[in-house]
Structure 1
Amino acid sequence: MGALLDGIPEQLVLGIGLAAGDGVGAALIVAIIVSNLPESIGSASDLLKSGMHKTRVVLMWAAVALVCTLATVAGFALADAVGSEFAAAANGFAAGALLVMLVDSMIPEAQEKAKESTGLATVIGFAVAAGLALAA
Structure 2
Amino acid sequence: MSEALLWGAVAAAPLFLGALLSLARRWPPRLLGIVLGFGAGALMASIAFELVEEGLSLAGPIPLVAGLAVGALSYYVADRIIDARTAASANASGMPLAVGALLDGIPEQLVLGIGLASGEGVSVALVVAILVSNLPESIGSASDLLESGMKKGRMLGLWAAVAVVCTLATVAGFAIADAVGPDFRAAVDGFAAGALLVMLVDSMVPEAQSKAKESTGLFTVLGFTVAAGLSLAS
Same structural fold, with TM-score higher than 0.5 when normalized by the shorter chain = yes
The residue matched to 2:178 in structure 1 has which SS?
A: coil
Identity of aligned residues (%): 79
Q: Measure the CA separation in 1 of the matches of 2:191 and 2:122.
A: 19
1:41 matches 2:139: yes
Q: Measure the CA separation in 2 of the matches of 1:90 and 1:52.
A: 32
1:130 matches 2:225: no
* Equivalent AA in structure 2 for residue 73 of structure 1: V
When structure 1 is superposed on structure 2, of 92-101 and 72-81 the one drifting more is 92-101
1:117 maps to what in 2?
Answer: 215
Q: Measure the CA separation in 2 of the matches of 1:59 and 1:134.
A: 34
- Trace 1:25-104 onto structure 2 (pairs within 5 A): 25-104=123-202
What is the TM-score of this pair, normalised by structure 2? 0.54
The residue matched to 1:52 in structure 2 has which SS?
A: coil
* 4+ residue runs over 4 A deviation: none
When structure 1 is superposed on structure 2, of 125-134 and 99-108 the one drifting more is 125-134
1:17 matches 2:115: yes
* Equivalent AA in structure 2 for residue 98 of structure 1: L
Superposed CA deviations along residues 23-79 of structure 1, whole A, max 9, x for unmatched, are: 023443233222211111111111111111111111111111111111010011111
* Equivalent AA in structure 2 for residue 69 of structure 1: T
Q: Measure the CA separation in 2 of the matches of 1:129 and 1:117.
A: 18
When structure 1 is superposed on structure 2, of 60-69 and 21-30 the one drifting more is 21-30
Q: Measure the CA separation in 1 of the matches of 2:170 and 2:130.
A: 12
Change in CA separation of 1:31 and 1:94 when aligned onto 2, cut-off 3 Å? farther
| Residue segments in structure 2 that go unaligned for 5+ positions in a row | 1-98
Give the superposition deviation at 1:130: 2.5
Q: Work out whether residues 27 and 129 of structure 1, in 8 Å CA contact, stay in contact via their aligned partners in 2.
A: no
What RMSD in Å do the two structures reach over aligned CA positions?
A: 1.6
What is the TM-score of this pair, normalised by structure 1? 0.89
Structure label with greater radius of gyration: 2
The residue matched to 2:179 in structure 1 has which SS?
A: coil
Change in CA separation of 1:78 and 1:5 when aligned onto 2, cut-off 3 Å? same
Aligned length, in residue pairs = 136
Q: Measure the CA separation in 2 of the matches of 1:128 and 1:7.
A: 20
| Residue segments in structure 1 that go unaligned for 5+ positions in a row | none
* Equivalent AA in structure 2 for residue 16 of structure 1: I
Change in CA separation of 1:26 and 1:103 when aligned onto 2, cut-off 3 Å? farther
* Equivalent AA in structure 1 for residue 133 of structure 2: S
Change in CA separation of 1:57 and 1:38 when aligned onto 2, cut-off 3 Å? same
Give the superposition deviation at 1:2: 1.7
